[in-house]
Amino acid sequence: MKRVQFGHSPVPYLFVAPQILIILIFFLWPAGQAVYQSFLLEDAFGLSSQFVWFRNFEDVLSSDSWAKSAVFTIVFSFIVAFLSIAISLFLAVRADEIIRGAKSYKTLLMWGYAIAPPVAGLLGSMLFNPLMGDLYILLNSMGFEFNHIQNGNDAAFVVILIAVWKQISVNFIFFLSGLQGIPKSVTEAATLDCKSAERRFWTITFPLLAPTTFFLMVINLTYAFFETFGIIDVSTKGSPGGTTATLVYKVYVDGFLGADMGSSAAQSVILMFMVSILTIFQFRFIERKVHY
């Protein structure tokens, strides 16, 4: 921390109080509640409940629908993270080389950050609307027999496409600033040593961007896990038959629409556990970077 700090004073307590208060009421209490509920089994009318230890967890972990959703979430997250990182890295490298019009391209590629995931979902579902969606019509006229309403893979394709589209701008911003952070002299030295631009990229630029890429990988996985809720809720709603429901979406469906509180809470707790690991991973990494 700081070499010099203020000593005894009521100020820190006063300053940290609002944050702690909000955390206590709106974070610790609900989180505790989730853990508590995950051990309870409610009857069909929600009138009484009994303590069942880990039964909810056992039920969740052994249920087919959860396993299906877990597999989908993981596959979906990695595909989304990989694709959006790859596309934005490609664009950022080109944008970094541009001299004329660099600012315009930057603006054109970064503004998407401001679009809400559900809005992205709507735009996507509009393009895939069977009545008039351009992409739907295009894919079918090319003979793909595309039908995301009934075909799970096609539905997953739609969700992935939208999720990748939405995330490109964030990755682009980070990659471009990462590229611009590479000293000119290094790039110049590399051009003297290596003729092929592609080789230069893989041997010099990409390794130098590794911290950014790694960081973005974590960010993108977190995004695919959580923030795609909005996309899914307005595009496929997890259909057909739950094939495109991520774990977070399933918590919502089971808890709010299905009113199975115990199971939903158990799912929440499992998710908390998973995401904690991801965040600790990310945090340790960020902290280490700060000390450079």
Partner 1 sequence: MYQSKLRIITNHLILILGSAFMIAPVWIALASSTHTREYLFQNGLQMWFGGHFLENYGAILFDPAATKGRVTALEMLFNSMVLGLGFAIGKVVISMMAAYAIVYFRFKLAVPLFWVIFATLLLPLEVRIVPSYEVVSSLGLLNTYTGLILPLIASATGTFFFRQFYRSVPDELLEAARLDGAGPLRFFVDILVPLSVTMIAAIFIIMFVVGWNQYLWPLLMTTDDQLYTIVIGIKQVYNSLYEGGQIPQFPKAFALTIMATIPPVLVVVIFQRMFIKGLVETEK
CA dist., res. 220 & res. 222, Å (int): 5
Write the Ramachandran bin of 242: left for phi over 0, alpha for psi from -120 to 50, otherwise beta: left
Minimum CB distance to partner 1, residue 261 (Å): 7
Query: What is the pattern of x (binds partner 1, CB under 8 A) and - over residues 9-38?
Result: x-xxx-xx-xxx-xx-xxxxxxx-xx--x-
State yes or no: residue 256 binds partner 1 (CB under 8 A): yes
Distance of CA 202 to the CA centre of its chain: 26
Interface with partner 1 includes 91 (CB under 8 A)? Answer: yes
CB 260 within 8 A of CB 38: no
Nearer to partner 1, 64 or 291 (CB): 291
Pick the piece of the chain touching partner 1 (CB under 8 A) from 52-60, 144-152, 200-208, 255-263.
255-263
Determine which residue in the list 168, 209, 245, 266 makes contact with partner 1, applying CB under 8 A: 168
Nearer to partner 1, 52 or 218 (CB): 218
> What is the C-alpha to C-alpha distance for residues 145 and 66, in angstroms, rounded to an integer?
29
Binders in 135-164 for partner 1, by CB under 8 A = 137
Touching partner 1, residues 182-221 (CB under 8 A): 187-188, 191, 197, 215, 219
In one-letter notation, the amino acid at residue 14 is L
What's the burial of 291, exposed, middle or buried (CB within 10 Å: 0-12/13-18/19+)?
exposed
Question: Dihedrals φ, ψ of 41, to 5°?
Answer: -120, 120
Shorter beta-carbon distance to partner 1: residue 159 or 251: 251
The smaller minimum CB distance to partner 1, of residues 101 and 207, is found at 101
Report d(CA 158, CA 148) in Å as an integer: 7
Of 43-51, 65-73, 202-210, 266-274: span binding partner 1 (CB under 8 A)? 266-274
C-beta closer to partner 1: residue 82 or 103 = 103
The backbone torsions φ and ψ at residue 9, rounded to the nearest 5 degrees and listed phi first, read -170, 145
